[in-house]
Amino acid sequence: MFVRPLSAVASAPAGAAAAVWRHCCWYWRKTSPLIITRNPINSPRPPCSFTWSAVSSSDHPRHLRSSPGLMKNPDTEPPPVKRRKSSECEYASDGVQPGPKNSVSKERRERSPVPPGTLYPHLTRTKEIRTELKRQWEELTESCETTSVGAFDFSVMSYNILSQELLLSNTYLYRHCNPYVLQWHHRFSNLIAELEHHSADIMCLQEVQEDHYQRQIKPRLEHLGYQCEYKRRTGRKLDGCMIAFKKSHFTLSSLHPVEFFRQGIQILDRDNVGLIVVLKPALESGLDRSICVVTTHLLYNPRRGDIKLAQLALLLAEISRVALQDDGTTCPVLLCGDFNSVPTSPLYTFITDSKLEYAGIPIGKVSGQEESPRGQRVLTPPLWPPSLGISQLCQYECKTNADPDVQKSSNGLNMRHIEHGLKLTSVYSHFLKGNGHREITTCHSRTAITVDYIFYSAAQSHESSYTECRAAQDQGLELLSRLALVSESQLRQVNLLPNHRHSSDHLPLIARFRLHT
Ligand code: KL2
């Protein structure tokens, strides 16, 4: 069995605590209404009741309270950030006088889960700003049928909920936040309320931390009538992808977790994953059709577009295999998730155009996350080695096929382009209706871009005659409506993400679809 190397992280908790302390001090300096200048030599430092354990998950096992972000890892290592000296904290005060009356014992802080706002009142006492985003539902249907007779309507959500571990590894991205809103107990209650409020029939979530999934998220969603399926990332990271669907609406036909890590294949040496389910509408719908629902979170590293493309190719090969029906057609596909690529990127173009002329593209430009990426290395054929067993058409090769000509034509890895056989359309247009501003799906103190998508197999066309319309729509999904995204300026008005009200650095994408009989 292959054993992945484990880095020693003995000093990580202390280091992460220091990072949180620096963040805390920085935040107080920025927001405290009462800045009392003290002489750091003869005046004692006020007690900081904001502890590592307060931001960390309160139910998080102690041995897991390490910060992989402090390790040397090209995917997670933050760019160099100017660090503030800890002595700066001595000049910041929340106005609470030091002394036994105001200090809460460390033991009590770690033991008692407390309702929001009671333990750290000074952290919630900031200037009141509006933190709730206004998002409108946009009706999009040009359907021949205005009612759902003979059709099955359902909603789908894609949402990267920001794992607590990744939040703690990258605290420099959340310096705009009141530390209070970064605590897991606050974030969990907001996230669950949000999921419950939208009540999507299918939820595709990313960055779901396994312990939070097992102990909190899954039990809660099951209580609400969902069936939950989960795939954790390979390697050391604690998070993974999840698909939940309402048992009253769907039954599970098959489940396919996908690991992108492939031993011995250099381009697939990262720990990202995908999860695929094939669902059937519940019997009462009278519909004997399937849909293939997929979620993934591709590699973050903006410089490694080559890896992102190989991960996507592997996922597309698996989708093509599992979505294939007995009659040789492919059932409608919903491909959701965080692709760590922007809408103008070659990776996005590959998904929506089903083809990409990749040779010569600098690997740092594949995802379009950075405007001026470093490094000049360009993509050259083959993108992935033949040993992976995936052709240039992003399909598994038939190993039993003895005809060398067929093998050659289906492999085609020395071609300068790749293709896939799924016809996928994005639910969102990436520009807001009305003002034409760029839509944003993720934002924090360093960026505001679109990287999350819901792609779907669209019904081909809408003909005028009723019969033609029905025939055309049989092939795919009809997009009925979507919850509009927002612009960067709207996000600035609510203090970016996460904020008091929205507890991830991503927004949920939600759409309603119609599947015809
Ligand atoms: O962009 V993301 O956030 O889709 O919201 O996906 C990754 C990043 C996620 C999983 O790897 O962790 C975040 N700088 C900024 N964000 C990072 C970094 C980094 N160096 N490393 C990981 N993430």
The finding on whether 160 has its CB within 6 A of some atom of ligand 1 is: yes
Q: Is 338 in the pocket of ligand 1 (CB under 6 A)?
A: yes
Percentage of the chain exceeding pLDDT 90: 64
Q: Which of 159, 170, 233, 509 to mutate to test the pocket of ligand 1 (most atoms within 8 A of CB)?
A: 170
Cβ neighbors of 209 (< 8 A, separation 6 or more) are 57, 163, 164, 165, 238, 239
| Tokens standing for residue 34 | 């009462």
Mean pLDDT of all residues in the chain? 79
User: At 285, is the pLDDT very low, low, confident or very high (cuts 50, 70, 90)?
Assistant: confident
- As a whole number, mean pLDDT of residues 323-342 equals 97
Model confidence pLDDT, tens digit, residues 485-507: 999 999 999 999 999 999 999 99
Does the pLDDT value for residue 335 go beyond 80? yes
* CA 403 to ligand 1 centroid distance, Å: 45
CA 227 to each of CA 21, 277, 279, 392: distance values in angstroms, whole numbers, following the listed order: 40, 12, 11, 36
Top pLDDT among 118 and 346 is at 346
Strands 202-209 and 226-232: unpaired
Three-state DSSP class for 88? helix
Who contacts 495 (Cβ-Cβ below 8 Å, separation ≥6)?
Answer: 129, 131, 176, 177
Residue ranges, CATH 3.60.10.10, the chain: 137-516
Distance 108 CA to ligand 1 centre (A): 33
- Ligand 1 contacts CB of residue 75 (under 6 A): yes
Is the per-residue pLDDT at 109 higher than 50?
no
Give me the pLDDT at residue 141, please: 84
Ligand 1 neighbourhood includes 78 CB (under 6 angstroms)? yes
DSSP 214: I
- Residue 80 above 90 pLDDT? no
Q: What's the confidence (pLDDT) of residue 145?
A: 58
pLDDT of residue 85: 33
Whether this model's pTM surpasses 0.95: no
Is residue 84 over pLDDT 50? no
Q: Two tokens at 239? A: 């998070």
Nearest atom, ligand 1, residue 505 CA: 5
Q: Residue 492: which of 437, 451, 412, 453 has the closest Cα?
A: 437
Ligand 1 close to Cβ of residue 298 (< 6 A): no
The Å distance, Cα 300 to ligand 1 centre, comes to: 5
Nearest-CA residue for atom 18 of ligand 1: 76
Q: Tell me yes or no: is domain 137-516 CATH 3.60.10.10.
A: yes
Q: Give the model's confidence band at 150: pLDDT under 50 very low, under 70 low, under 90 confident, else very high.
A: confident
**Residue 368 — very low, low, confident or very high, per pLDDT cuts 50/70/90?**
very high
Of 374 and 477, the one with more pLDDT: 477
Q: How confident is the model at residue 375 (pLDDT cuts 50, 70, 90)?
A: confident
Is 212:188 a contact under the CB 8 Å cutoff? yes
- Does residue 462 register a pLDDT over 80? no
